[in-house]
């Protein structure tokens, strides 16, 4: 507790106050839960058969939610792959010494960061054929929208990561006679990846959540599927199915974050960053935090 | 282009709706998020758990799912909203509050412990040291991320029009595009521009405020 900015280790009176406060606070939280449950019970939302539909294989609901999960993960996986690759390429472009490359890339990145993803997806859905002359299936409409938006965001995260590396690193590499591309790929990038991993993963979680926008173009991801099921079985199951769809998203995102956290720990253990790096890493954290905050959702 | 010019009044109305929805949600989310952040750093375990659970659940839920639950799920427990506009504000506030909470909390943690120790040493209570010493400094270091959350919120509000029949800028896109298939590019260009009228100046303002309020520690 002494690590907190706000309070020291407590004395006997403080501990007593905290115990009393915890009691009151606990009752408050309990009250909220009871109120919610009461509300649900009063409307018959807690009856077993209302929820059984989500779990009973005979209704076909778990199976179709499972299929929707796979379809969601497919779109998310494809978008993650392309967005990360393109984001890295754009980041290199933005870091280029040549204005002829840097300026157009910056314009592209700033443009895609400034417009809502919904608008992008709607444009691809309604405009692909008349404007671009493309016949995009729903899957690629969604994936392309996600890629265009997230490559711009990931570009900024990767750029911030590369810029956060101590200048001495690239100076030493140049002094050894390495070329610009060698410095970037074999010196800066490996160190940058380690630092930007948390921001990178939170953006990938955002991407996964954003696949839910597929419902706007009727791509059968989890929420769209939940809606289809409700249309079939009736609106008395609305709450249950939307909560179930949200729950699946929460579990998958939670798993992704946990895996990333483990990965982060392993990466940090295997490679010790040079002394003094922690100070810079601290500053960088604010930067990437800001980048993530801007583009979340 | 003609389609946009013919519908300038609708575009203007949609622009105002987007702005009103975003401002209302931003105000509510900031208040709710700050309260949650206070919960998360409080000495009382039940409140800490409440704050942490809220953030974990909401942050990992897609905003679209929050919209679905607020608009179609809550009426099942007799919680209804007058119209989609208000429901959209509720959904956006609930969602953004979780992010505000995390930003404010990291801001609180960025205040050096010496400040709070000094506050306690001169006998300020928990509430006083939070209100008079820690939070003013924390808010300063959270201005840039909060500004970025505002930009994200404006962009997120497009879901209300894109999927849930709120007459904002985003809702114009499909209806205009269907009526004027030949002008899709111009229509979407105009709609993107309408969002950029809010997001780009906001981004510049965030940068300016960031430089103005920056303090050396």
Helix (H), strand (E), coil (C) string for chain A? CCCCCCCCCCCHHHHHHHHHHHHHHHHHHHHHHHHHHHHHHHCCCCCHHHHHHHHCHHHCHHHHHHHHHHHHHHHHHHHHHHHHHHHHHHHHHHCCCCHHHHHHHHHHHHHHHHCCHHHHHHHHHHHHHHHHCCCCCHHHHHHHHHHHHHHHHHHHHHHHHHHCCCHHHHHHHHHCCCCHHHHHHHHHHHHHHHHHHHHHHHHHHHHHHHHHHHHHHCCCCHHHHHHHHHHHHCHHHHHHHHHHHHHHHHHHHHHHHHHHHHHHHHHHHHCCCCCCHHHHHHHHHHHHHHHHHHHCC
All residue ranges of chain A with pLDDT < 70 are 1-9, 269-297
Beta carbons of B103 and A289 less than 8 Å apart: yes
- The yes-or-no verdict on residue B29 having pLDDT over 90 is yes
* CA distances to A155, B51, B79 from B62, in Å: 23, 19, 21
Report the chain A residue with the minimal C-alpha distance to residue B189. Answer: A123
Predicted TM-score (pTM) of this structure: 0.83
DSSP category for residue A273: P
Q: Please write the tens of the pLDDT for every residue from B198-213.
A: 888 888 888 888 787 7
Predicted local distance difference test score (pLDDT) of residue A2:
40
Instruction: Write down the pLDDT at residue B139.
Output: 73
Q: Is B61 touching A (CB cutoff 8 A)?
A: yes
In whole angstroms, give the CA distance from residue A263 to residue A181: 27
CATH superfamily of the domain spanning A60-295: MetI-like (1.10.3720.10)
User: Looking at chain B from residue 16 to 45, which residues have their Cβ under 8 Å from any Cβ of chain A?
Assistant: 41, 43-45
Q: Do A40 and B77 touch (CB under 8 A)?
A: yes
pLDDT at B27 exceeding the cut of 90? yes
- Comparing CA positions, the residue from A68, A63, A109 lying closest to residue A89 is A109
Query: Which tens digit of pLDDT belongs to each residue from B77-109?
Result: 777 787 888 999 999 999 999 999 988 888 888
Q: Quick one: pLDDT at residue A278?
A: 43
Q: Would you list the domain boundaries of chain B? A: 16-168
Three-state SS at A243: helix
B191 to chain A: which residues are within 8 Å by CB?
119
Name which of B76, B163, B200 is nearest A239 (Cβ-Cβ): B76
Which residues in chain B have their CB less than 8 angstroms from residue A46's CB? Answer: none
Rounding to the nearest 10 degrees, give the CA dihedral for residues A83, A87, A89, A90. 130
CA pseudo-torsion sign A268, A273, A276, A277: negative
Distance from CA of A262 to the nearest CA of B (A): 18
Q: Which residue of B has its CA nearest to A116?
A: B155
**C-beta of residue B11 within 8 angstroms of C-beta of residue B190:** yes
Model confidence over A82-118: pLDDT tens digits? 999 999 999 989 888 888 888 999 899 888 888 899 9
pLDDT of residue B97: 94
Chain A residues whose CB is inside 8 A of the B41 CB are 4-6
CA distance A214 to chain B (A): 10
Q: Residue A283's pLDDT is what?
A: 44
Closest by Cβ to A289, choosing from B145, B155, B178: B145
What was the ipTM of the complex prediction?
0.83
Q: Which residue has the tokens 């970025």?
A: B148
Contacts of A116 in chain B (CB under 8 A): 154-158, 162, 170, 195
Compute how many other C-beta atoms are within 10 angstroms of the C-beta atom of residue A179.
Answer: 10
Using a 10 angstrom Cβ sphere, with 0-12 exposed, 13-18 middle and 19 or more buried, the burial of residue A163 is middle
Tokens of B74: 């809550």
Any idea which residue has 């500053």 for tokens?
A283
Measured between beta carbons, the chain B residues lying within 8 angstroms of A32 are: 50
d(CA B94, CA B99): 10
CB contact, 8 Å: B47 with chain A? yes
- Answer yes or no: do B77 and A25 touch at CB < 8 A: no
- Give the Cα separation of A222 and A233 in Å (integer): 16
- Residue B169, pLDDT above cutoff 90: no
Are the C-beta atoms of B92 and B157 separated by less than 8 Å? yes
Which of B66, B68, B211 is the best mutation test for A, with the most CBs of A within 10 A?
B68
Return the half-sphere exposure (C-beta side, CA atoms, 13 A cut-off) of residue A293. 27
Query: Considering only CB atoms, which chain B residues are within 8 Å of A16?
Result: none
Distance linking the first and last C-alpha atoms of chain A = 33
State chain B's mean pLDDT as an integer: 85
Residue among B65, B130, B158 minimizing CB distance to A223:
B65
Alpha-carbon distance of A160 to A152, in angstroms, equals 13
Interchain proximity B76–A43, CB inside 8 Å = yes
Q: Nearest Cβ partner of A116 from B45, B108, B195?
A: B195
What per-residue confidence (pLDDT) applies to B54? 92
Q: What topology is assigned to B16-168 in CATH?
A: MetI-like fold (1.10.3720)
- In which residue are the tokens 């300063």 written? B140
Write the pLDDT tens digit of every residue in B109-163.
Answer: 888 888 888 888 898 887 888 788 887 887 778 888 888 889 889 988 988 888 7
């Amino acid at each position: 507790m002494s690590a907190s900015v706000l309070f020291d280790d407590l004395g006997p009176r403080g501990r007593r106050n905290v115990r009393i406060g915890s009691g009151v606070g606990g009752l408050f939280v309990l009250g909220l839960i009871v109120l919610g449950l009461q509300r649900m019970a009063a409307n018959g939302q807690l009856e077993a058969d209302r929820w059984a539909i989500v779990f009973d294989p005979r209704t076909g609901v778990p199976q179709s939610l499972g299929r929707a999960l796979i379809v969601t993960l497919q779109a998310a996986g494809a978008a993650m792959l392309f967005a990360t690759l393109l984001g890295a390429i754009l980041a290199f472009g933005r870091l280029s010494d040549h204005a002829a490359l840097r300026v157009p890339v910056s314009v592209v990145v700033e443009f895609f960061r400034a417009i809502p993803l919904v608008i992008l997806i709607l444009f691809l859905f309604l405009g692909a054929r008349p404007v671009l002359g493309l016949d995009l299936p729903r899957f690629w409409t969604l994936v392309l929208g996600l890629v265009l938006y997230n490559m711009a965001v990931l570009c900024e995260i990767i750029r911030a990561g590369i810029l956060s590396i101590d200048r001495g690193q690239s100076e030493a590499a140049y002094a050894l006679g390495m070329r610009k591309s060698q410095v970037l790929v074999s010196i800066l990038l490996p160190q940058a990846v380690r630092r930007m991993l948390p921001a990178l993963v939170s953006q990938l979680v955002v991407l996964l959540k954003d696949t839910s926008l597929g419902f706007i173009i009727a791509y059968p991801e989890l929420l769209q599927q939940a809606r289809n099921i409700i249309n079939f079985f009736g609106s008395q199951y609305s709450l249950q199915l939307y909560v179930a769809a949200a729950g699946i998203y929460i579990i998958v995102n939670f798993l992704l974050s946990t895996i990333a956290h483990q990965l982060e720990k392993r990466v940090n253990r295997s490679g010790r960053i040079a002394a003094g790096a922690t100070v810079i890493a601290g500053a960088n954290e604010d930067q990437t935090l800001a980048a993530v905050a801007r583009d979340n959702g | 282009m003609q389609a946009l010019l013919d519908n300038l009044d609708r575009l203007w109305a949609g622009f105002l709706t987007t702005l009103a929805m975003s401002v209302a949600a931003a105000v509510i989310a900031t208040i709710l998020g700050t309260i949650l952040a206070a919960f998360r750093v409080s000495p009382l375990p039940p409140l800490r758990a409440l704050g942490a659970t809220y953030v974990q659940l909401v942050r990992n839920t897609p905003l679209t799912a929050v919209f679905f639950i607020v608009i179609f799920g809550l009426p099942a427990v007799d919680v209804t909203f007058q119209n989609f506009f208000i429901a959209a504000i509720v959904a956006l506030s609930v969602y953004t509050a979780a992010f505000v909470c995390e930003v404010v909390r990291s801001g609180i943690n960025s205040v050096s412990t010496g400040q709070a120790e000094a506050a306690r040493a001169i006998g300020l209570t928990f509430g006083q040291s939070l209100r008079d010493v820690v939070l003013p400094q924390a808010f300063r270091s959270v201005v840039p991320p909060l500004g970025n959350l505002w930009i994200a919120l404006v962009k997120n509000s497009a879901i209300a029009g894109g999927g849930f029949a709120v007459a904002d800028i985003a809702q114009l896109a499909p209806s205009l595009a269907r009526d004027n298939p030949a002008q899709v590019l111009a229509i979407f260009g105009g709609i993107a521009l309408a969002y950029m009228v809010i997001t780009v100046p906001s981004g510049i303002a965030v940068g300016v405020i960031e430089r103005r309020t920056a303090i050396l520690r």
